[in-house]
Amino acid sequence: MTDTSVLNVRDLRAHYVLSAFGINRSVSAVDTVSFSIGRNEIYGLAGESSSGKTTLIRTIAGAIRPPLRILSGTIEFDFAGKRIAMQAATQNDLAAIRWKHLSYVMQGSMSVLNPVRRVRHSFVDFAHRHIGGTIPDFLNTVRAHIERLDLAPRVLNSYPHELSGGMRQRVAIALATICRPDFIIADEPTTALDVVVQKSVLAMIRSVQREIGSSMLFVTHDLSVHANLTDRLGIMYAGRIVEEAPTAELFRNPLHPYTRHLVASLPRIGVVPPVTTDLAGRPPSLADPPSGCRFHPRCPLAMPICADQPPSLRTVANGHRVACFAVGGAA
Amino acid sequence: MHRTILDLLRTNHAFTAGVVLLAIVIVIALLSFVSPYPPNDAYVVPPDVPPCWAYPLGTNSRGQDVFWQLSVGIRNTLAFGITVAAISRCLALAIGMTAGYAGGMIDRVLMSVNDTFIVIPLFPILVLFYFVMRDRMSWALLALVMACLGWAYDARLIRSVALSLRTREFTETAIFSGMTMPQVLLREHLPFVLPIVFSTTMNNINWSIGMEVTLSVLGFTDINTPTIGVMLYWANQHTAMVAGIWWWIAAPVALVVITFLGLFLLAVSMNEFIDPRSRLNRVRG
């Protein structure tokens, strides 16, 4: 929440509100989430499937379509003095910032490119409107940009199916960064790649991010990717951020019982894995989440208070926040 | 483009055969512009002459040269088929893509109209139209009516494709980048839908020619515009079968069969021309 933060999310609640035949159902995919992302920072968001990661970033990107609805909370961007509150932004406001200031590498970004159009056309369709100028000038910019990303300019004349997975991924990232945005949202951009290609794509993301000086919100369930890339890491469980810390600190000293199990499940070189007990049960249904702390039915440290009221994120050390009654003293 | 067509001609025999057959038909149709006789004039040549050097397809009982009649007839018939297909394709594309993309209430309204057109029995409606319009029933009006009746199947087909395209990542990206609905439909979705439209266009031309011939043979169209169907109508009126003037019936029937075959072969091979993925498989395979 400092002055240098680019994105401030406060108490965000976004639910899927469904109504059919007079019965209302609401899926609380994102519930009282607060965090901020600073300039030049790569913020990682981890969590298992259906923990609300994608919903959260869709909300942040303003790509909201019914039945998804923001119930309360604020999302504020600050692009070098240009402030915008996403929860109240009109279509015109969004059009003005998208791509130029805020870009989004979608989930399954392997298929961001239209398979029946040449890559060049996808660039023109998606990004030209945000840069302006003549088409040949624009294509020269694109050519220079993808050369920086170790791609041959001839990929522009290819169809997506003629490119390998790694190349397509690079093209998708080139497409998202062509306008040198202040903020990049990346939803599982490396999930479909093997580890070798993944490593080079991650290095590329890092170098692009450094070069254009943008902030990044990076989402994946793959903790090793987070360990490689991100500066800070937030762990989501059942629609809430349960713990947030600088990445190295979080791996060294996880506090929340869920994070502890998560980190303990990772294999480490040279360490014979201790026999840990598995967490019983499964993540809760977000249509009917448990009361209080959403982790309490599975938590080994559960106390009576956990079922009564949800714990808030409290700072326990420098930059380390955790939402748990059992950690760092009583609330 | 040029290369692709050459590749197709070399590797795809169905395409080659279709092109050759259609080329024959089109040359015959184009010859009508140099026809020595006005198409509706009767008794310009001796009647009932069998095919010979002077009259390659013979002459009919109305004293017309069958070849030149055929040439004008196939020109009008082709033009009819293409007009119907063009109008109905525009309707099918606009309605199918909008319904699939917009979804919700718009989809429901458009598809209920669409389903109404699917279940309407076409032939009785067209006959009814003729009896209502009578002498005002012109070639252009018939084409318009057929186009308005012939779009529904393809609109459903296109909608089904649009439904799946709407949920693809590149559509989401297009929307996120600020493209409006018409831009997304025209630039991102239309290239997907075109292969389907191209092959259904050929089928639609076939369907409308068949329909036109059927109606004309029965006399339910404007019989003063010479088409293939109208030729057969006059042959029947003069009992050509009984009188043994077989060339008067055989020539138009053979030409229509050639047209159907040509269009059908083009329809099945067109996908490889339009869809880059199947084209590559074919050319490099």
Determine contact, residues A100/A179, Cβ cutoff 8 Å: yes
Closest residue to B176, CB basis, from A98, A108, A115: A98
β-strands A183-187, A102-105 pairing: parallel
The pair of structure tokens assigned to B59 is 């002459």
Cβ–Cβ of B175/A127 closer than 8 Å?
A: no
ipTM over 0.85: no
Determine contact, residues B80/B212, Cβ cutoff 8 Å: yes
- Least-confidence region, from A35-44, A278-287, B18-27: A278-287
Distance from CA of A91 to the nearest CA of B (A): 9
Tens of pLDDT along A51-101?
Answer: 888 889 888 888 887 788 888 888 888 887 778 888 888 888 888 888 888
Most B CBs within 10 Å: which of A110, A120, A126, as the mutation test of the B interface? A126
Q: What is the pTM of this model?
A: 0.77
The pair of structure tokens assigned to B210 is 């068949």
Cα separation, B285 vs B279, whole angstroms:
10
Give chain A positions within 8 Å (CB) of B276.
Answer: 116, 159, 161
* Four-residue CA torsion sign, A304, A305, A311, A317: negative
Give chain B positions within 8 Å (CB) of A112.
Answer: 169-170, 173
B187 reaches A (C-beta below 8 A): yes
B284 reaches A (C-beta below 8 A): no
| A256, HSE (Cβ side, Cα atoms, 13 Å) | 29
Cα separation, A89 vs A303, whole angstroms:
42
Tens of pLDDT along A109-120?
Answer: 667 888 888 899
With respect to CATH, is domain B2-284 assigned 3.30.9.90? no
Which amino acid does the sequence have at A199? K
A119 reaches B (C-beta below 8 A): no
B277 reaches A (C-beta below 8 A): yes
B181 reaches A (C-beta below 8 A): no
Instruction: Find out whether the peptide bond into A67 is cis, omega within 30 degrees of 0.
Output: yes
Cα separation, B23 vs B64, whole angstroms:
25
Sketch the domain layout of chain B as residue ranges: 2-284
> May I ask the CATH class of domain A5-230?
alpha beta
Most A CBs within 10 Å: which of B105, B173, B184, as the mutation test of the A interface? B173
The band of A22, judged by pLDDT with boundaries at 50, 70 and 90, is confident
- pLDDT exceeds 80 at position A17: yes
Instruction: Give the closest residue to A184 by CA, choosing from A112, A70, A103.
Output: A103
Cα separation, A117 vs A119, whole angstroms:
6
% of residues, chain A, pLDDT over 90? 9
Cα–Cα distances (Å) from B285 to B177, B281, B282, in that order, read: 38, 5, 5
Cα separation, A278 vs A47, whole angstroms:
17
Cβ–Cβ of A111/B179 closer than 8 Å?
A: no
Most A CBs within 10 Å: which of B101, B164, B165, B170, as the mutation test of the A interface? B170
Sketch the domain layout of chain A as residue ranges: 5-230
Most B CBs within 10 Å: which of A109, A114, A123, A191, as the mutation test of the B interface? A114
Instruction: Give the closest residue to B91 by CA, choosing from B147, B26, B43, B166.
Output: B147
Tens of pLDDT along A192-201?
Answer: 778 888 888 8
* Four-residue CA torsion sign, A172, A174, A178, A183: positive
Listing DSSP states for A204-257 in one string gives HHHHHHHHHT-EEEEE-S-HHHHHHH-SEEEEEETTEEEEEEEHHHHHHS--SH
| A77, HSE (Cβ side, Cα atoms, 13 Å) | 28
The band of A331, judged by pLDDT with boundaries at 50, 70 and 90, is very low
Closest residue to B169, CB basis, from A94, A111, A161: A111
Give chain B positions within 8 Å (CB) of A122.
Answer: 170
Cβ–Cβ of B176/A63 closer than 8 Å?
A: yes
Alpha helices by DSSP H, chain B: 2-11, 13-31, 66-102, 104-119, 122-133, 139-149, 152-166, 169-176, 181-183, 190-217, 228-237, 240-243, 246-274, 276-284
